[in-house]
């Protein structure tokens, strides 16, 4: 309408008109906007100084930790790989993990230690007069020849008072010699090469449960159709990582219940629902029992940058102002779990714990007894959930010592 009327008022411009600019000044508001933005920008840039300071302090701290860990040949490797179970002082855990200090095995020299590191131990063992149910994993794939030689030399020097050094080349030979011999069958087999060991308890004959474990191992390492290998995500030792949970050492019945819940749709997870759909009742029970017996060193770390002190308070004391009980009231005094309903929390990966707490809070997960976890998680803020997840990830994992059957026995007794 406007255009039609003005068509005659505005004769079509000359085809030869050439574009040009007039010499008007810059409008005043543009100056004000430019000055305001410049001030804001300068402040923002000046303010990044704070972040840089923060990052630098953190780096200095990390380096200090690194330097202290590096002290002593093999010391840092011992701290990272061995001390979680055998403890930093090498005293072990009474009734659970054999001591290194004063052990006859260490007195036998670094070569024996290297053999044990390469093969692991699976079976009863008597050390210093006490019996232990030995479950030491093999470190053959986790450590290289040099690392094994350094650890073996370090522990024999520190705890066995033998200053013999082991050459990495010798470890390579040992690795070749050991081949795929599998774990030492308890102290009984070890005693055949360490003559100074006291009389060892006999290695138990394989049972029906062990036979089931063999078929389950196929499931764990090879998988079957839609049941892809457990180890492909949860690791060879059920240690998990990031948002994939650690399964090693969880109560057998807890794991079995979770698998059954995935299968029934009571617990939601896109991957696990597909996997569990292909498992029979017998298999979920056997898988639960299998992972309950596994032991793995902690590979979790408090990596959510949350407030560890707050996490510790929540885990140990709870926060009654929020109506949140201490985690350890139900999950055991060290977060090692209480069969059959309460899983181990210690050394669980922080992202997994935090995401599960969030799922309880948001209703994405609802399969806890009496809806306990839903209430607790809803009461926690997002920071609290991350804080407690970080703290739990910093704890040592469930120690060795209880077989699947022993665990079921305990729970029955309770």
Binding site for other proteins (CB under 8 A): 2-4, 6-7, 9-10, 12-27, 30, 33-34, 37-38, 40-53, 55-56, 268, 270, 354-355, 358-359, 361-364, 382, 385
Q: Are 90 and 155 in contact (CB under 8 A)?
A: yes
Shortest distance, CB of residue 374 to other proteins, whole angstroms?
11
Residue 289 C-beta: closest distance to other proteins, Å: 30
Q: C-alpha angle 329/356/389, rounded to 5°?
A: 60
The DSSP bridge partners found for residue 342 are 338
Bridge partners, 66 (sequence order): none
Please state the closest distance from residue 2 (CB atom) to other proteins, in A. 7
Pick 12 or 176: Cβ nearer other proteins: 12
- DSSP assignment letter at 97: B
Provide, rounded to whole angstroms, the least separation between the CB of residue 103 and other proteins.
44
Give the CA-trace dihedral at 258, 261, 265, 268, to 10 degrees.
-20
The CB-of-362 to other proteins minimum distance in angstroms stands at: 3
Closest to other proteins by CB, 49 or 129: 49
Given the complex with other proteins, which of 46 and 320 has the nearer CB atom?
A: 46
Question: Which of 2, 320 has the CB closer to other proteins?
Answer: 2
CB of residue 41 vs other proteins: minimum separation in angstroms?
4
Residue (198 or 371) nearer to other proteins, CB: 371
Give DSSP secondary structure letters for 346-408: TT--HHHHHHHHHHHHHTSB--SGGGHHHHHHHHS-HHHHHHHHHHHHTSPPPPS---HHHHH
For residue 377, the minimal CB distance to other proteins (Å) is 8
Nearer to other proteins, 13 or 179 (CB): 13
**H helix runs in 247-364, sequence order:** 252-264, 270-277, 281-293, 308-316, 327-331, 350-362
The H-or-E segment that residue 9 falls in is: helix 2-9
Burial 235-258 (b: 16+ CB within 10 A, else e): bbbbbbeeebbbbbbbbbbbbbbb
CB of 274 to other proteins, least distance (A): 14
CB of 57 or CB of 177, closer to other proteins: 57
Give least dist CB 270 to other proteins, A.
7
Q: Hey, how many other C-beta atoms are within 10 angstroms of the C-beta on 10?
A: 8
Cβ closer to other proteins: 22 or 180? Answer: 22
Which H or E element spans position 229?
none
The CA distances from residue 323 to 396, 403, 414, in Å, are 27, 36, 27
Q: Which residues pair with 288 in a beta bridge?
A: none
- Compute the distance between CA of residue 210 and CA of residue 286 in angstroms, rounded to an integer: 10
Minimum CB–partner distance for residue 21 and other proteins (Å): 4
User: Euclidean distance between the first and final Cα of the chain, in Å?
Assistant: 90
Q: Which is nearer to other proteins, 255 or 361 (CB)?
A: 361
d(CA 375, CA 384) in angstroms, rounded, equals 14
Residue 70: closest CA among 80, 60, 82: 80
Which residue, 55 or 282, is less far from other proteins as judged by CB? 55
Question: In this complex, which beta carbon is closest to other proteins, that of residue 7 or of residue 169?
Answer: 7
SS3 label, residue 319? strand
Nearest distance from residue 384's CB to other proteins, in Å? Answer: 12
Angle separating helix axes 281-293 and 252-264, nearest 10 degrees: 140
Residue 243 near residue 249, CB atoms below 8 Å: no
């Amino acid at each position: 309408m406007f255009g039609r009327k003005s068509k005659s008022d505005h004769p079509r411009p000359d085809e030869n008109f050439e574009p040009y600019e007039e010499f008007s000044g810059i409008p005043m508001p543009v100056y004000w906007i430019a000055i305001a933005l410049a001030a804001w920008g300068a402040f923002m840039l000046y303010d990044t100084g704070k972040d840089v300071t923060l990052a630098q302090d953190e780096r200095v701290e990390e380096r200090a930790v690194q330097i202290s860990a590096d002290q002593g040949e093999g010391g840092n490797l011992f701290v990272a790989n061995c001390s979680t179970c055998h403890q930093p002082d090498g005293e072990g855990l009474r009734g659970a993990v054999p001591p290194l200090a004063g052990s006859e095995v260490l007195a036998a020299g670094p070569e024996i230690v290297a053999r044990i590191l390469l093969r692991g131990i699976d079976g009863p063992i008597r050390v210093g007069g006490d019996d232990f149910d030995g479950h030491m994993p093999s470190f053959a794939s986790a450590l290289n020849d040099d690392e094994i030689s350094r650890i073996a030399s370090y522990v024999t020097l520190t705890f066995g008072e033998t200053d013999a050094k082991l050459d990495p080349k010798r470890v390579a030979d040992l690795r070749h010699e050991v081949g795929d011999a599998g774990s030492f069958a308890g102290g009984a087999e070890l005693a055949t090469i360490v003559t100074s060991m006291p009389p060892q308890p006999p290695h138990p004959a394989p049972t029906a449960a062990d036979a089931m474990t063999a078929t389950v191992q196929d499931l764990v390492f090879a998988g079957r159709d839609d049941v892809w290998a457990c180890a492909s995500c949860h690791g060879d030792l059920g240690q998990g990582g990031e948002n994939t949970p650690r399964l090693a050492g969880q109560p057998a019945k807890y794991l079995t219940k979770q698998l059954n819940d995935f299968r029934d749709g009571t617990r939601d997870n896109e991957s696990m629902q597909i996997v569990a759909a292909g498992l029979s009742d017998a298999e979920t029970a056997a898988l639960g029992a299998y992972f309950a017996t596994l032991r793995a060193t902690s590979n979790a770390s408090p990596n959510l940058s949350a407030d560890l002190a707050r996490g510790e308070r929540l885990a140990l004391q709870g926060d009654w102002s929020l109506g949140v009980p201490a985690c350890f009231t139900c999950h055991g005094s060290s977060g090692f779990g209480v069969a059959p309903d309460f899983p181990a929390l210690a050394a669980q990966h922080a992202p997994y714990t935090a995401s599960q707490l969030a799922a309880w809070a948001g209703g994405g997960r609802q399969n806890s007894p009496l809806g306990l976890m839903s209430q607790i998680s809803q009461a926690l803020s997002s920071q609290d959930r991350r804080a407690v997840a970080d703290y739990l990830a910093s704890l040592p994992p469930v120690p060795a010592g209880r077989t699947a059957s022993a665990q079921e026995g305990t729970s029955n007794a309770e």
